Amino acid sequence: MFSTNPFAELSASIPPAVMQTYVVVMIVLVAAGTLFDIVHKGSAKYFFDNWRKSKSKGAQQVDGGELLSLAVQTGLVDVLASGEFCNARRRVAHLLTMYGFVIYVVTTAVMVFGYPTPATPTPAILPQLWWLGGLMACVGGYWFWFFIRVDVAAEGNSPFRFVRADLFIVSLVGSVTLGLIWAAAGAGAGVLFGLYILATTVLFGSVPWSKFAHMFFKPAAAFEKRVSYANGTRSNLPGPADKPEQFGSAREAPRHY
Amino acid sequence: MPTFVYMTRCDGCGHCVDICPSDIMHIDRTYRRAYNIEPNMCWECYSCVKACPQNAIDCRGYADFAPLGHSVRVLREEAKATISWKLKFRDGREKNFVSPIRTTPWGSIKGPGEYAAPSPADFAKQELAHEPDALNIEGGLPALRPDQLKQGVV
C-alpha cells in the first residue's frame, strides 16, 4: 500500500491527461485566488505604504546588503522554521502541517506528471513520501483543530463549531484525509474519490475566502517587521531594556502558552 | 483609549482573550485574529497590550486629549522582568521609561487559592478574608476605642 502510486492505479479509470489538467487548474486557481486576495484586501498596498512610512521615519538607513541578510533571516527563521510562534506546541503543529502538506502536494504532482500509469514504474520512495507527508499534515492539522486552535483553547468553543476562518484547515485536513483513505481503499474512481476531489477543489478554489494566502503575505509582514527593527522605527515600540539588573527583581524564563 | 489589533502582526494565539478583564478581546470568525469586540467597554488597563507576544495590540487615544500623531507603546520583557514605555508626542518629542514588572521575587506572594477557605464563623466578623494576617499588621486592625469616639455616637 505504501509503495504503490495511487494515481497510476487510478489511470485505469481516468486518463492521465484529465488528472494532469486538474492539477494545472488547481495551480491556476491558487495563483488567481492569491492575486484577487491581494487586490481585494489591499494587503500589498498596505505593505508598501507601511514600508515607505517606516523608511521615511527610520533612524538608520538599511542598505541593500542588510536587506538581503534580513530577507535570508526571514526565509530561514520565519518561513522555514515558523519562528513567529511563541508557543512551542503551535510551532510544532504548524511545522508538521506545513512540511507534511508541501511533501504531499509535491509528490502528488510528481506522480501525476512523471509516473501517471503503471507502464512507467514509480520509485517506491515517492508513494512513501506521499503517505508520510499526508500523515504529517493530518497529525499537525488535527492536533491544531482539536486542541490548539484558539477558538477551542482560549474561547472555549466546541472543537466541532465551524466558522469561515476554519475553511482552510478543514478543507486541508479533509482533502489529505480523504486522499489517504481513498488510496488505502484501492484508489478506485468511486464515491471516496469524488469526496477527495471535492475537498481538494474546495481547498484550492476557496483561496479568496480562506486564509490559504497567508503563506504569501505572512512572510512579507515578517520581513517588514525585521526591517522596522533594523532601521530603528520598531513600529514605535521601545527598545529592549538594557539595565534590568538595577531593579533587583528575580528573573525567570518566559511562560508563553 | 480602546485597544485595537494590527491584523498582520496578530497570529491568533489567544493571550489577549485569556487576559482581558473585560472579556472584550475575542477571535474574529473570518480571519481567526483577535479584535476588540466592544471598544466602549475597554478600560484601558493595557493587559492585552503587555501580554501580546507579537506586540500586535495598540491603544488609540481619544482625540480630545491625545490628538492624531501621538503614540504610547509598551514592551514587556518577562525574561528581564522589565516593562518599557515609549511615549511619542505629536510634536515629535519622545519619552522613554523602564520599570520593573514587580519589586518582590516571583512566587513570593501567596495567591488567593493558597489560603484556607473561610469558615462559617468568619462570615460574622468585620474583617475581610484572611485579615488581619494578610495585611501584615501586628495586633490586628487599628480601631478606635469607645472612649475615643465622639460623645453621643455610642
pLDDT per 10-residue tile (average), chain A, 257 residues: 86 91 95 89 81 78 89 93 88 96 96 90 92 96 94 89 90 95 88 94 91 82 88 87 65 53
Q: Are B4 and B57 in contact (CB under 8 A)?
A: yes
Q: What is the ipTM of this complex?
A: 0.78
Nearest chain B CA: its distance from A88 CA (Å) = 11
Which CATH number covers residue A208?
A: 1.20.950
A90 occurs within a structural domain: yes
Q: Which residue among the candidates B14, B31, B38, B43 is catalytic per the annotation?
A: B43
| Residues forming CATH 3.30.70.20 domain(s) in chain B | 3-100
pLDDT tens by residue, A227-237: 888 888 888 89
pLDDT tens by residue, A82-131: 988 888 899 999 999 999 999 999 999 999 999 988 888 889 999 999 99
A237 occurs within a structural domain: no
Residue B18, pLDDT score: 92
Task: Please report where in the chains the cell 502582526 appears, as a residue.
Answer: B9
Chain B residues touching A165 at Cβ < 8 A: 27-32
A215 occurs within a structural domain: yes
Chain A residues touching B30 at Cβ < 8 A: 163-165
Nearest chain A CA: its distance from B131 CA (Å) = 27
> Residues of B at the A interface (Cβ-Cβ below 8 Å)?
6, 8-9, 11-15, 17-18, 26-32, 53-55, 71, 73-75, 77-82, 84-86, 88, 96, 98-106
A254 occurs within a structural domain: no
Q: Are B25 and B16 in contact (CB under 8 A)?
A: yes
User: Is residue B43 annotated as a catalytic residue, yes or no?
Assistant: yes
Chain A residues touching B77 at Cβ < 8 A: 240-241, 244
Nearest chain B CA: its distance from A148 CA (Å) = 9
pLDDT per 10-residue tile (average), chain B, 154 residues: 87 92 92 92 91 90 71 86 86 86 75 85 85 77 81 66
Number of domains in chain A: 1
Q: Are strands B34-36 and B3-5 parallel, antiparallel or unpaired?
A: unpaired
Residue A232, pLDDT score: 84
Q: How far apart are the first and last CA of chain A?
A: 39
A243 occurs within a structural domain: no
Identity at A83, one-letter amino acid code = G
**Which residues are B75's β-sheet partners?**
B84
The fold adopted by the segment(s) B3-100 is Alpha-Beta Plaits (3.30.70)
Domain coverage including residue A172: 6-50+63-230
Q: Which residues of B60-88 are buried (b: 16+ CB within 10 A; e: fewer)?
A: beeeeebeeeebbbbbbbbebbbbbebbb
Q: Choose among B14, B55, B105: nearest Cβ to A235.
A: B55
How many other β-carbons are positioned within 10 Å of the β-carbon of residue A244? 19
